[in-house]
Amino acid sequence: MASYNNTGSLPLELGKFPQVVLEWCQGEQHAVRVRDVVVYEFSMGDVEDPDLYAVHPILDWEHSKPGQWILATAVETLFWHRVHNIVDFGYRYQIVARLREPDEVFWRLKFGIEGK
């Protein structure tokens, strides 16, 4: 299983401006935009230990084609958010990847519908 950075139950900041990072390309330095993208999202009912029960859907996603592509392409380790779902008294998990701008465009075009 890949390593994840648990950010606890903080909600994902939508509308956040993309970060600009420096990247080396054939000895030259240039700026590349990097953005946090929700690559997988799932809901879970009210259980005693939600993180323990979340392992199975995360592992299934990791072994899928979109999951393998994200694990190979992400700039940093993936992280996840867990928020309370007040509609059904459960939890909603979001796996977030930090992607370069061209990789994000490719992700949205190829896996956008299938990745959610």
3-state secondary structure of 8: coil
Distance CA 82, CA 106 (A): 26
Mean pLDDT value across residues 75-92: 88
CA distance linking residue 77 with residue 88, whole number of Å: 30
72 lies in which domain range? Answer: 5-110
User: Over pLDDT 70: what percentage of the chain?
Assistant: 70
What's the confidence (pLDDT) of residue 70?
94
In a domain, residue 33? The reply is yes
Decide if 116 is inside a domain: no
Backbone angles phi, psi at 2, to 5 degrees: -70, 160
pLDDT of residue 21: 56
Structure tokens at 33: 């935009």
State the pTM of this model: 0.70
Residue type, 104: E
- The two beta strands, 79-85 and 5-6, are parallel
Q: Is residue 63 part of a domain?
A: yes
Q: CA 77, CA 75: separation in Å to the nearest integer?
A: 7
In a domain, 16, yes or no: yes
On whether residue 31 sits in a domain, the answer given is: yes
- Quote the number of domains for the chain: 1
Which residues lie below 8 Å from residue 60, measured CB to CB, with a gap of 6+?
Answer: none
Q: Residue 115: inside a domain, yes or no?
A: no
Mean pLDDT score across all residues of the chain: 77
Asked whether residue 64 is assigned to any structural domain, the reply reads yes
